[in-house]
Amino acid sequence: MSSLTIGTEGESVTLRCNYETTDDGVYLYWYRHHSDLQLIFLNAPGISDDRFKAAKNGTSVPLKIQKLQLTDSAVYYCALSPQ
């Protein structure tokens, strides 16, 4: 399922990722796909850029991007993986 999120430069947006699993030990990964087709790996919750915050909340791992920059414009994906 996909959705369009629009934000204004300098503001914040939150991207949602919900999942269902019977496995208690899972990792959720965020990926950012830029126009140059490069995938940038963002591992929730240990994202290195301070503007990106992600924390597991039940069966959801929202990604909050603060102080939006034009370079944040991309397609974002979340992926679930067993530990």
Residue 69 falls inside a structural domain: yes
d(CA 12, CA 27): 24
pTM value is 0.76
Read off the amino acid at residue 42.
L
Q: Say what the pLDDT of residue 43 is.
A: 57
Predicted confidence at residue 67, as pLDDT, reads 93
Please tell me the distance from the alpha carbon of residue 35 to that of residue 83, in angstroms, as a whole number: 31
26-37 pLDDT per residue, tens: 777 888 877 665
Indicate which CATH number applies to the domain containing 21.
2.60.40.10
Return the number of other C-beta atoms located less than 10 Å from residue 32's C-beta.
Answer: 19
Q: Does residue 5 form part of some domain?
A: no
* Between 76 and 58, the higher pLDDT residue: 76
Residue 8 covered by a domain: no
pLDDT greater than 80 at residue 70:
yes
CB atoms within 10 A of CB 83: 7
